[in-house]
């Protein structure tokens, strides 16, 4: 097929991460956040390389060495950053008709101007200018688009939410028809599936799809399901589930739907609810890294993910600290498909 956005479960060269530091909102629990990052690195480097952006790469290299992270599995990039959410400022990689990868450098405005993002918005082009991606082309895009806001099955289908992509804080004034035309042109998206419902309390992204519903192989969609009628999410997620049941594949068949369990409510010290979700998993080469929350539902979430990815090792990562900054595992990472790195 012509231009397309690969599925996350296709072969990868590396995963992009951006290390937390004291000038970010991680400062009050920086040590705990660094421990989670080291856990992620320890798992990922069993399966593939990691590109690690760090403002003080020498210090971080030392911490990785102490933690036993294989040094030849990590490519360090000494760059300043505002925060750590690589999913949303990292490159989105497409494959052209000849199969060659192309990096798309979309604009990132801190989820609609909620947070400072000028440094993060420069990371992709700076990595390219420094030669990290060899001869792979990097195309700057005027469109504001975050990686967490779109899901691809690798065959031209794109899953997204109207609450995020049509929000005027991203690309005003841009109609749904205009945006669909841009997604077809840039990503090769021919089959667009829009969710009108679904949200997570405590989420800063205006309902990123990767917190709610995710593609898996064989026309499968995993999604969060709230089974508590007294929970504030119940009605919206029930309506989202109804929408998912109405979606059809390009061949007109219903999707295989796998509901993920609903974790118990977690709150920060001010009482604000935190966006714990099992949908924020990361697919790597040979593995799926799954967020866990020291919750009774963790084991069931891992079991369901195993049924969706039977040929991969399912590995839980405690993300209880990550949701204190209103994101989780997938939000921290961006896959670099095969052919991106020299």
Residues 115-125: tens digit of each pLDDT: 999 999 999 99
pLDDT-derived band at 2 (thresholds 50, 70, 90) equals: confident
> How do residues 215-264 score in pLDDT, each as one tens digit?
999 999 999 999 999 999 999 999 999 999 999 999 999 999 999 999 99
Percent over 70 (pLDDT), the chain = 100
- Return d(Cα 207, Cα 173) in angstroms, integer: 19
Residue 246's Cβ-side half-sphere holds a number of Cα atoms within 13 Å equal to 10
Closest to 121 measured CA to CA, from 81, 93, 149, 150: 81
Model confidence pLDDT, tens digit, residues 150-159:
999 999 999 9
Q: Are 289 and 313 in contact (CB under 8 A)?
A: no
pLDDT band at 97 (very low <50, low <70, confident <90, very high): confident
Of the chain, the percentage scoring pLDDT greater than 90 comes to 98
DSSP, collapsed to helix, strand or coil, labels residue 321 as coil
Average pLDDT over residues 286-298: 98
> Is the backbone peptide bond immediately before 173 cis, with ω within 30 degrees of 0?
yes
For residues 177-204, average pLDDT: 97
Q: DSSP label at 271? A: S
pLDDT tens for 10-69 read: 999 999 999 999 999 999 999 999 999 999 999 999 999 999 999 999 999 999 999 999
Average confidence score pLDDT of the chain: 97
Residue 197 tokens, joined: 């419902």
Distance CA 262, CA 54 (A): 34
Residue from 81, 187, 72 nearest 124 by CA: 81
Query: pLDDT by residue (tens digit) across 65-91?
Result: 999 999 999 999 999 999 999 999 999
Amino acid 1: pLDDT: 61
List, in order of start, the domains of the chain with CATH numbers: 12-337 (3.75.10.10)
């Amino acid at each position: 097929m012509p231009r397309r956005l690969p599925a996350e479960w296709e072969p990868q060269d590396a995963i992009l991460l951006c290390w937390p530091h004291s000038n970010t909102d991680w400062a009050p629990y920086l040590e705990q956040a660094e421990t989670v990052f080291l856990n992620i690195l320890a798992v990922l480097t069993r399966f593939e390389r990691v590109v690690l952006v760090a403002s003080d790469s020498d210090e971080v290299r030392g911490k990785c060495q102490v933690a036993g992270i294989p040094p030849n599995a990590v490519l360090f990039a000494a760059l300043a950053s505002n925060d750590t959410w690589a999913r949303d400022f990292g490159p989105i990689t497409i494959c052209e008709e000849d199969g060659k990868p192309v990096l798309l450098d979309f604009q990132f405005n801190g989820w609609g101007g909620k947070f400072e993002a000028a440094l993060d918005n420069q990371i992709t082009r700076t990595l390219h200018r420094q030669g990290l991606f060899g001869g792979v082309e990097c195309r700057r895009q005027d469109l504001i688009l975050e990686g967490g806001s779109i899901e691809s099955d690798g065959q031209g289908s794109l899953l997204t939410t109207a609450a995020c992509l049509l929000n005027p804080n991203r690309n005003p004034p841009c109609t749904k028809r205009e945006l669909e035309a841009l997604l077809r042109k840039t990503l090769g998206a021919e089959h667009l599936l829009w969710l009108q419902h679904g949200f997570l309390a405590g989420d800063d992204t205006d309902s990123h799809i990767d917190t709610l519903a995710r593609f898996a192989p064989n026309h499968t969609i995993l999604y969060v399901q709230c089974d508590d009628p007294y929970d504030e999410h119940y009605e919206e997620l029930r309506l989202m589930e109804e929408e998912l049941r109405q979606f059809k594949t390009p061949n007109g068949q219903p999707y295989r739907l796998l509901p993920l369990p609903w974790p118990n409510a977690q709150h920060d010290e001010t009482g604000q609810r935190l966006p714990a979700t099992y949908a924020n998993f990361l697919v790597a080469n040979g593995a799926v890294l799954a967020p866990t929350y020291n919750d009774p539902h963790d084991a069931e979430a891992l079991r369901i993910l195993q049924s969706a990815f039977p040929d991969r090792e399912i590995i839980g990562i405690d993300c209880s600290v990550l949701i204190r900054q209103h994101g989780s595992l997938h939000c921290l990472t961006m896959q670099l498909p095969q052919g991106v790195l020299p």
